[in-house]
A and B are shown apart, each in its own frame.
Chain A
Amino acid sequence: MEALNPSLETRESELVQKAGAGCREAFYQLVQPCERVLFASAMAILNNEADAEEAAQEAVLKAFTNIGRFRGGCKFSTWITQICINEARLKIRKARKHLYQSIDEPEKGDEGDYFPRDFADWREIPSEALQRKELREALQRAMASLPEKYREVLILRDIQHLSIEETAQVLGIGTGNVKTRLLRARLQMRDALAPGIDGNWTLGRPEHAKVRAW
């Protein structure tokens, strides 16, 4: 559990108290810094902006109703993100019920090894290349291709920069599991993005198109 800076902690518990007494303004002050992580974690599960917004808003309203149950054992942001993830999971389960065939992945454990598929020497793709539409789209496609349980960990860790412990808390899994899922998510992203598969984001340098060993 991540320790809070003492002055921030006092401020947070003051706001929590006020919010508990029904002060909407204080509650909004608590929620506002969490908006991005709430939306991103709902997106990780639902992969659709409108659904993610709805789930995040439902989570916020639930948090307001239940603020009395927040005991301050963790950061407010961790607590509310947990609620949001549960909300998004409920929503996706409901949606899947309507499908003829469940698209739930079979609940495989995280044991078993993931082997990288591509051993090519990968020259670094500079972040400036992200301005190129193709690379951004390739990233999005690669992200969407990940199984949900890997995508959530990748988003919480590498985009929202939550610690391993916070990620574990928010997802309700152990830290060992977070690490295993993160490893797979990263390796699968690397395989999905390995240049040479379509080699589109080579910044016009032909030698980058030939980075594969074969």
Chain B
Amino acid sequence: MLRFELGRVCGQDRFESFWGLEYRMRVIEISCLEVWKEISNYIDNDVEPELRARMEAHFKACAHCTAILDGTRNVVKLVGDGMEYKVPAGFSRRLYDRIKDK
């Protein structure tokens, strides 16, 4: 089996197949700083699969970043559920009246 090891590895194995052969890919380590930069995209599912795998491996090993991930995810949910900016009472009627009078 071919094994790719580029840079430091963090013990996470991932398998990928090319031309019918299975390669064991070792996930290359990523720094906390790089993880923070991408944490919001990660939550939005907007990172390339390769980066996602690296980040997942990092989260497994790094309690700090996992705490930040969990907290940030929770914030996204709380903000979505808790902040509504309801339009004030009578907003629609006043708007309709102004359009009518225009």
A→B interface (CB under 8 Å): 24, 27-28, 31-32, 35-36, 39-40, 43, 49, 53, 56-57, 60-61, 64-65, 113-116, 118-122, 124-125, 127, 130, 135-136, 139-140, 143, 154-155, 158-159, 161, 164, 179, 182-183, 186-187, 189-190, 193-194
CB distance from A40 to the nearest CB of B (A): 4
Interface residues in B24-71 by Cβ distance below 8 A to A read 33, 36-37, 39-41, 43-44, 46, 63-64, 66-68, 70-71
Interface-centre pick from B46, B85, B88, B96 (highest chain A CB count, 10 A): B85
A136 vs B83: C-alpha distance when bound (angstroms): 8
B→A interface (CB under 8 Å): 33, 36-37, 39-41, 43-44, 46, 63-64, 66-68, 70-72, 74-88, 91-92, 94-96, 98-100, 102
A189 cross-chain contacts in B, Cβ below 8 A: 75, 79
Contact B80 A158 (CB under 8 A): yes
With A57-B98, A113-B36 as contacts: A121 and B67 at CB distance below 8 Å = yes
CB distance from A81 to the nearest CB of B (A): 13
Q: Specify the chain B residue showing the minimal Cβ separation from A154.
A: B79
A39 vs B95: C-alpha distance when bound (angstroms): 11
Q: Name the one of B68, B81, B87, B100 contacting A36, with C-beta atoms under 8 angstroms.
A: B87
A114 vs B68: C-alpha distance when bound (angstroms): 13
Interface-centre pick from B68, B71, B84 (highest chain A CB count, 10 A): B71
A136 vs B81: C-alpha distance when bound (angstroms): 10
A136 cross-chain contacts in B, Cβ below 8 A: 82
CB distance from B64 to the nearest CB of A (A): 4
